[in-house]
Structure 1
Amino acid sequence: MSATQVAASAVPPSPPAIDAASRTPPKKQPYPFWLGGVAATIAASITHPLDLTKVRLQASGDKRMIESIRKTVRTAGARGLFDGISGTWLRQMSYSMCRFWAYDESKKLLGAGKDAPAWKLAAAGSMAGGIAGLVGNPGEIVMVRMQGDFAKSPEKRFNYKNCFDALFRMVKDEGVSSLSRGAVPNVFRAILMNASQLASYDFFKAELLKTPYFSDNIICHFTASFAAGTVATTVCSPADVLKSRIMNASGPGSNSTLAVIRQSMAADGPMFMFKGWVPAWTRLQPTTILIFLTLEQLKNLVDLSRNKGYTYL
């Protein structure tokens, strides 16, 4: 055997080449599209009394939040604080489910990744809001009417039994077009809400994670959602008031946005656009926090179930 052959035999064989594709971690599967709707439904069920009070302040002559709550309990009992809860569920499982799904899809379309600039996130939120505002408009009307019913005199009440009875009677008594009542301010509000709430949550969360003081945990989620709730309340207040007043109207021609603005300006002045801001913030703040905390925990549960081999989520 030659010296060259001996040297070659002394060299250990090279390890087999590792395919580059095998080193690439598998692409993470998207979360179920309905996850946001479930999170929003849970949050809205907990904060329903505050939302009920906000709507009644905006649509009636009630002046203060505590007085409005006392009036509800006095006239309808403690159960009255959950009037129209089925309307709230219908709204969340149509509007909210759609907006979270559309927001994720819009971010993919715009290429808004983890560290996307604020304008891209806001654009994705606006797109999602426009879609969800149209899809969820019937549920929005049902929720507003059912919540505001007992603030009216008995002869003016709708007296819907539940959300399905409300939809049936609206179509029967007012025509299919009634399902689009207030669609313009509702879509406008949905655009503002999603551009401010969803986008600002992602933005604040990303900014917090860049600091050495936060990691991706419940403290970071709470802080980001608190900031997002304040931003969303202020941005959405004018459209929210208009939406409530238009959807609660029932007379011919009363659903005109300009007519409602003129009447409201004459009666309350320009500050009518921020009427109910405190109860709106008091309601939206915990709702925003609960939505995002619940959503993050639901995502953790999905990840856990997938890691354990369950593929139905």
Structure 2
Amino acid sequence: MRIVHGEGVKGLYHGLTAGFMRALTYGTSRIALYEEMKESAKKSNQTLSTPILGIMAASSGFIGAIFGTPADIANVRMQNDASFPPQQRRNYRNVLDAWAQMKRTEGWRSFRQGLWPNCFRSGIMTASQLASYDSFKRLIQKVCDTDEEKPLIHFSASLLASLVATSISSPMDVIRTQLMSSSKNTSVLEIIRTLMHTEGPKWVFRGWTPSFVRLGPQTIATLVLLEQHKKIYRTLKS
């Protein structure tokens, strides 16, 4: 309501182009890598236990973040721009304009700002999202005594996975946002020290609700549609 009152409806869509670019680079690569790893393991007759799924998902998320970090930086900066005084705003028009200004004013180093924390965050989040989804799906199928791939099972498993992913990734999201929104060089330990000094331990779950509002529907839509896509693909392939 504050955003709409102060900036109009368009304020809700700051960073839209950067969000699309992030989904195109990070989102697709991590899911594709995870599915390929699972298929390779199945062909090798390897048991896909929860720890193995977690390692696969974490690896794919880590690698995917390498491709998605430049778009992620632009996204964070565009979304946070309105919180700065008018004279300090960057006023990026879109993701390409953001990249051009970043290169011109800060150099190539700005494209990897917060890269490694973002990679670790993405690895942990992907593991808690994709691996927990597969584990929850198998658990629900076992409880329901069925091997069928029903949309209701996909929906329930993805909802539970989104709760796990939001809770685990929330503290790292706070740190990532602080790193990427700043134009200065700073470390993760400095940010944690500052947050503990100014807010205390409660900073760990700062923004959990809006994170779930974003990640919950995204996780459900992504995984349910992915299952339907795989079903159609298997039907066409056979």
TM-score, with structure 1 as normaliser: 0.71
Report the structure number with the largest CA radius of gyration.
1
1:230–1:113 distance in 2 versus 1, CA, 3 Å: farther
Aligned counterparts, 1:110-189, within 5 A: 110=41, 116-189=48-121
Query: Within 2, Cα distance between the matches of 1:299 and 1:122?
Result: 21
Equivalent of 1:207 in 139, 161, 183: 139
Between the aligned partners of 1:110 and 1:149, the Cα distance in structure 2 is: 44
Q: Secondary structure at the match of 1:116?
A: coil
Q: Is the 8 A contact 1:86 1:163 kept in 2?
A: yes
Question: How far, CA to CA, are the matches of 1:141 and 1:94 in structure 2?
Answer: 13
Q: 1 CA distance for matches of 2:135 and 2:47?
A: 8
Is it true that 1:259 corresponds to 2:190 in the alignment? yes
**Bigger mean CA deviation after superposition, 290-299 or 84-93:** 290-299
Q: Which amino acid letter does the alignment assign opposite residue 211 of structure 2?
A: A
Which residue in 2 is equivalent to 1:246?
179
2:225 corresponds in structure 1 to: 294
> Does 1:105 find its partner at 2:36?
yes
Between the aligned partners of 1:76 and 1:114, the Cα distance in structure 2 is: 54
Q: Distance in 2 between matches of 1:276 and 1:146?
A: 18
For residues 235 and 51 of structure 2, what CA distance do their matches in structure 1 show? 33
Shift of 1:106: 2.8
Give 2:159's aligned amino acid: F
Is 1:233 paired with 2:166?
Answer: yes
**Structure 1 stretch displaced more, 161-170 or 221-230:** 161-170
Partner SS, residue 210 of structure 1: helix
Amino acid at match of 2:150: N
Please list every run of 5 or more consecutive structure 2 residues that lacks an aligned counterpart in the other structure.
Answer: none
* AA partner of residue 152 (structure 1): F
Select which of 283, 292, 301 maps to 2:214.
283
Question: For 2:143, what is the secondary structure of its paired residue?
Answer: coil
Does the alignment pair 1:222 with 2:158?
A: no
Query: Separation in 1 of the partners of 2:71 and 2:94?
Result: 12
Measured after TM superposition, the shift of residue 130 of structure 1 is: 1.4
Give RMSD over aligned pairs.
Answer: 2.0
Q: Show CA shifts across 1:177-229 (max 9, x none).
A: 11000112201110111110010111111222223365311100000001100
Name the amino acid aligned to 1:75. G
Between structures 1 and 2, the one with greater helix share: 2
Q: Which residue identity does 1:72 align to in structure 2?
A: I
How many angstroms apart in 1 are the aligned matches of 2:187 and 2:197?
16
Q: How far apart, CA to CA, are the structure 2 residues paired with 1:113 and 1:207? A: 21
Matched positions, count: 236
What SS does the aligned partner of 2:197 have?
Answer: helix
Separation of aligned partners in 2, 1:256 and 1:245: 10
Helix, strand or coil for the counterpart of 1:286? Answer: helix
TM-score by length of 2: 0.92
- The structure with higher relative contact order (CA 8 Å, sep 6+) is 1
Q: Secondary structure at the match of 1:159?
A: coil
